Amino acid sequence: MSIIFLEQTEVPTHYTNIVPFLPKPLDPPLHPGTKKPLIPSDLEPIFPKALIAQEMSAEPLVEIPAIVRQAYMLYRPTPLVRAERLEKALGTKAKIYFKNESVSPVGSHKLNTALAQVYYNQQEGIKRIATETGAGQWGTALSFACQMFGLECVIYMVKTSFESKPYRKIMMNLFGGTCHPSPSDLTEFGRKVLAEHPDSTGSLGIAISEAIEDTVTHPNTRYALGSVLNHVLLHQTIIGQEAIKQLAKAGDYPDVIVGCHGGGSNFAGISFPFLIEKLQGKKSVRAIAVEPESCPTLTKGEYRYDAGDTAGMTPLLSMYTLGKEYMPDPIHAGGLRYHGASPIVSQLHHEGVIEARAYNQKEVFEAGVLFAKAEGIVPAPESCHAIKGAIDEALVAKESGEAKTILFCLSGHGHFDMVGYEKYLAGNI
Amino acid sequence: MSIIFLEQTEVPTHYTNIVPFLPKPLDPPLHPGTKKPLIPSDLEPIFPKALIAQEMSAEPLVEIPAIVRQAYMLYRPTPLVRAERLEKALGTKAKIYFKNESVSPVGSHKLNTALAQVYYNQQEGIKRIATETGAGQWGTALSFACQMFGLECVIYMVKTSFESKPYRKIMMNLFGGTCHPSPSDLTEFGRKVLAEHPDSTGSLGIAISEAIEDTVTHPNTRYALGSVLNHVLLHQTIIGQEAIKQLAKAGDYPDVIVGCHGGGSNFAGISFPFLIEKLQGKKSVRAIAVEPESCPTLTKGEYRYDAGDTAGMTPLLSMYTLGKEYMPDPIHAGGLRYHGASPIVSQLHHEGVIEARAYNQKEVFEAGVLFAKAEGIVPAPESCHAIKGAIDEALVAKESGEAKTILFCLSGHGHFDMVGYEKYLAGNI
């Protein structure tokens, strides 16, 4: 038996909030102008009130609205898979499980928060949502969620991904979304970047600035972010909650959890429900956030206040950062090209609750191809980071002869990333 | 609840064979040279003995080898989904279910027979398999199955699809397969076609001829076909068997079953287990095979003996055919561009047990986009034919006020078919 399924009655009823269990209170976000702690009304031009309340919530459980839970049933619970053929290929005694978020209709975990965010916007009468996207997973998810709840969707996609993954744009269009390469000439900030760097390949920081500018200059529009913020991470905790139930069905519990790390939402989704048990002293578990060497936020960034976007329009967040103007190489894992990190993940790392690790692009593709040959699923380049981390843990266990249980999150499939694989197979990465 | 899951213990243990329940004995395949009924040894240069035995079997149940059943557990049982949002979009009282074969790691139902075929080849010491592929679903499936069982795989891909779906080739390469556009200069027949028609966009009939020529001119090589033949359809019956169990969990049974039809394997997979119950007089059910107007084999072809390939190298089969030299338009549903039809499906149609219907490309894409917007899954253009058929049945039920239960097979996802969707969205189809 490779796959552990759950029935739809087991789709979680609540999001689990790690905030009340953190080692220390979270540093407050600061207003970018006054540098004073934000109050909820500061965020109202860009987010609906319900999400602002979740962003600042310290309640341990947040109920999932019935309509959102119903929407999750389009694809959840996602399977938990024992990667037996990968274990065999590695010759390890370690058990490797992965939570397969790639079965989401849009191809990644991003739909978990997109559905919630669009729902809350719709409830407050918002008609249009602007956002950025890196590799396109988030933009696709938000497009579909907007289609589902009847909102207009406009997406600024980092130019390097826009060009290397043309099918992503078509998929956003198919769901009714509009997608622009960023930097674009549609915003003042985009025009400024293009004037200074006409060949700019873009970054998540720039695309976020463009999306926020679009938001505040259009009527009845709000902004949506696919990672980093507390409420986004909160929505993703349904991943780890399901994994706990599925592992319990197999009589198992992980020694190590591995997630890829860009802004933090996938890592949070798979690990936070387990880390809550750890922080409460109930369980012992390691959690490893894996990032690209070319954008080593957690492993080489500074822990300080910084803006979430390049233009400095967002609140200042207390986080690991490479500096808001950091321009990462145009790697294929476009979803991980972010200069900052989620404030919650940052604090957990700073306090030593979790670990972080960086890999280069070649070794993550190598891990992805090994996984694809064993399990048949072609993983997104982002997910390849988690796979590489899990493989390394399995090889350490092989060396030491320990029978460890490793859990990682397959954040998405790589069906729109075949150009990256082609380059890797041709030896050009 | 939208999705009905089964546990992995419920993966079928046997293939169900419709042959002993057919209205009449099947007309025997004829030797292309002597025109006499084939004997098993005639097929030994191209197929392993175990598959030849299955091709000629009239046993009602054929046991699935334990290793193959274990391999199915990489992705089976596949979900059965109630398309509630599609029902709502149509305003119909009909219940629409679809069996989601797109969750297979390679993206379609084709892996069901690929795993079985490669296993039997491996058991008989074969080291290399040659095949053709239309849209690329079959080639991808066979590449992965060969990777799994340690065989070499060479694929002749119909040129129009090779060019419009470049990511498919990369995926085959990723699994270790080699993929050539067909007609190619690698075979005598390919060179002949290119000499006569240098701009040929290819066809399944030509690609089959090339793959068979490759097989008989290389050592330790056998040929594999992704549809049409009895043993291929046999392997696909696990789809319908699971669907019966899943519908029973929901307390339901279909009034109508819809499958897309190229060579017949998807239609057979979803419908044969139900049709066996119908042919035994236990149940009443309609089954509709849906094909493209540009390749209307069942709806406009003749029922007679014809070769399965353009060069006339295969046995002569008693089937509906447009003539082995028929050259269909280069539509996006490359998997349905086949001049013939499975002998079993052909007999069922000729005897009035099933129905057939043809749609044009524009209306099937329209149906696919409606489905994608409702359910989030972008379907393969082949699958869009089944969706269109199911939608039309639901609209008939709406008109008449009947509460029908409709089941269709989502044969695969369209992640590698976005160019077709782009053209449709731009009004160019």
Give ipTM to 2 decimals.
0.95
pLDDT of A1 reads 61
Contact flag B105-A376 (C-beta cutoff 8 Å): yes
Contact flag B8-A8 (C-beta cutoff 8 Å): no
The arithmetic mean of pLDDT across residues B168-181, rounded, is: 96
Angstrom distance (rounded) from CA B46 to CA A382: 42
Highest mean pLDDT pick, A322-336, A397-411, B324-338: A397-411
Query: What DSSP element (H or E) covers A3?
Result: strand A3-4
Contact flag B170-A415 (C-beta cutoff 8 Å): no
Confidence bin at A20 (pLDDT 50/70/90): very high
- Our CA-based measurement puts residue A327 at a distance from the nearest CA of chain B, in whole angstroms, of 29
For chain B, list residues whose CB is within 8 angstroms of any CB belonging to chain A. 1-3, 5-9, 73-75, 85, 103-107, 111, 144, 147-148, 166-167, 170-171, 173-176, 369, 372-373, 375-378, 413, 415-416, 418-419, 421-422, 425
- Whether residue A357 is predicted with pLDDT greater than 80 in this model: the reply is yes
Mean pLDDT taken over chain B: 96
- Whether residue A46 is predicted with pLDDT greater than 80 in this model: the reply is yes
Residue B118 one-letter amino acid: V
- Whether residue B74 is predicted with pLDDT greater than 90 in this model: the reply is yes
- Our CA-based measurement puts residue A169 at a distance from the nearest CA of chain B, in whole angstroms, of 9
Query: What DSSP element (H or E) covers A15?
Result: strand A14-16
- Best probe of the A interface among B249, B422, B425, by most A CBs < 10 A, is B422
CB atoms within 10 A of CB B37: 12
- Residues of chain A neighbouring B105 (CB-CB closer than 8 A): 375-378
- Best probe of the A interface among B101, B115, B415, by most A CBs < 10 A, is B415
**Cα B206 to Cα A187, B133, B160, B226, distances in angstroms:** 53, 11, 12, 15
Among B226, B183, B198, which residue's Cα sits nearest to residue B412? B226
- Residues of chain B neighbouring A176 (CB-CB closer than 8 A): 373
Angstrom distance (rounded) from CA A195 to CA A134: 22
Angstrom distance (rounded) from CA B409 to CA B218: 37
- Whether residue B148 is predicted with pLDDT greater than 70 in this model: the reply is yes
Q: What angle do CA A286, A291, A297 make, to 5 degrees?
A: 105
Which three-class secondary structure state does DSSP give residue B174?
helix
pLDDT of B135 reads 86
Residue of A7, A74, A419 with shortest CB distance to B376: A74
- Our CA-based measurement puts residue A242 at a distance from the nearest CA of chain B, in whole angstroms, of 15
The arithmetic mean of pLDDT across residues A122-140, rounded, is: 96
The percentage of chain A sitting over the pLDDT mark of 70, rounded to a whole number, equals 100
Tell me which chain B residue has its CA closest to the CA of residue A5.
B7
| Residue B199 DSSP code | T
**Cα A95 to Cα A253, A328, A384, B72, distances in angstroms:** 10, 34, 18, 20
CATH fold, domain B2-8+65-107+237-425, is: Rossmann fold (3.40.50)
Q: Tell me, rounded to whole angstroms, the distance of Cα B316 from its chain centroid.
A: 20
- Residues of chain B neighbouring A74 (CB-CB closer than 8 A): 2-3, 85, 375-376
Residue of B104, B106, B375 with shortest CB distance to A74: B375
Sign of torsion, CA B161 B164 B169 B171?
A: negative
Contact flag B170-A421 (C-beta cutoff 8 Å): yes
Write out the DSSP string of A44-107. Answer: TTTS-HHHHHHHT---SEEEPPHHHHHHHTTT-SPPEEE-HHHHHHHT-SSEEEEEEGGGSTTS
The percentage of chain B sitting over the pLDDT mark of 90, rounded to a whole number, equals 92
Contact flag A377-B111 (C-beta cutoff 8 Å): no
Q: Provide the H-helix boundaries in B254-329.
A: 265-279, 297-300
Residue of B148, B170, B376 with shortest CB distance to A418: B170
- Our CA-based measurement puts residue A93 at a distance from the nearest CA of chain B, in whole angstroms, of 20
Q: pTM, whole model, 2 decimals?
A: 0.96
- Best probe of the A interface among B69, B88, B110, B170, by most A CBs < 10 A, is B170
Angstrom distance (rounded) from CA A193 to CA B254: 58
Q: How many helices (H) and strands (E) does chain A have?
A: 17, 15
Chain segment A248-261, per-residue pLDDT in tens: 999 999 999 999 99
Contact flag A376-B425 (C-beta cutoff 8 Å): no
pLDDT of A288 reads 98
By CB atoms closer than 10 A (0-12, 13-18, 19+), residue A32 is: middle
Contact flag A73-B373 (C-beta cutoff 8 Å): no
Confidence bin at B164 (pLDDT 50/70/90): confident
Residue of A104, A170, A418 with shortest CB distance to B171: A418
- Residues of chain B neighbouring A419 (CB-CB closer than 8 A): 167, 170
Residue of A147, A170, A375 with shortest CB distance to B373: A147
Contact flag B74-A375 (C-beta cutoff 8 Å): yes
Contact flag A422-B75 (C-beta cutoff 8 Å): no
- Whether residue A168 is predicted with pLDDT greater than 90 in this model: the reply is yes
Contact flag B416-A415 (C-beta cutoff 8 Å): yes
Tell me which chain A residue has its CA closest to the CA of residue B376.
A105
Residue of A174, A376, A422 with shortest CB distance to B106: A376
Contact flag A174-B369 (C-beta cutoff 8 Å): yes
The percentage of chain A sitting over the pLDDT mark of 90, rounded to a whole number, equals 92
pLDDT of A335 reads 83
- Our CA-based measurement puts residue B304 at a distance from the nearest CA of chain A, in whole angstroms, of 40
pLDDT of B1 reads 61
Q: Locate the domains of chain B by residue range.
A: 2-8+65-107+237-425
The arithmetic mean of pLDDT across residues A48-54, rounded, is: 98
The arithmetic mean of pLDDT across residues B14-25, rounded, is: 98
- Whether residue A279 is predicted with pLDDT greater than 90 in this model: the reply is yes
Mean pLDDT taken over chain A: 96
Contact flag A170-B3 (C-beta cutoff 8 Å): no
Tell me how many residue pairs between chain A and chain B have CB atoms under 8 A apart. 112
- Copy the structure tokens of residue B319: 């089937």
Q: In what order do the strands lie in the sheet with A286-292?
A: A3-4, A80-82, A95-100, A405-410, A256-260, A286-292, A355-359
CB atoms within 10 A of CB A168: 26
The arithmetic mean of pLDDT across residues B7-33, rounded, is: 97
Q: For every residue of B231-248, which 3-state class applies, written as one string? A: HHHHHHHHHHHHHHHHHH
- Residues of chain B neighbouring A418 (CB-CB closer than 8 A): 166-167, 170-171
pLDDT of A165 reads 86
- Our CA-based measurement puts residue A182 at a distance from the nearest CA of chain B, in whole angstroms, of 21
- Copy the structure tokens of residue B214: 């490759």
Q: Which residues contact A424 (CB under 8 A, 6 or more apart)?
A: A362, A365, A366, A369
Among B272, B263, B244, B236, which residue's Cα sits nearest to residue B116? B236
Chain segment B226-271, per-residue pLDDT in tens: 999 999 999 999 999 999 999 999 999 999 999 999 999 999 999 9
Angstrom distance (rounded) from CA A341 to CA A227: 9
Residue of B103, B170, B378 with shortest CB distance to A422: B170
Angstrom distance (rounded) from CA B116 to CA B122: 10
- Residues of chain A neighbouring B369 (CB-CB closer than 8 A): 174
Contact flag A74-B425 (C-beta cutoff 8 Å): no
- Copy the structure tokens of residue A271: 């690990």
Strand partners, B179: B155
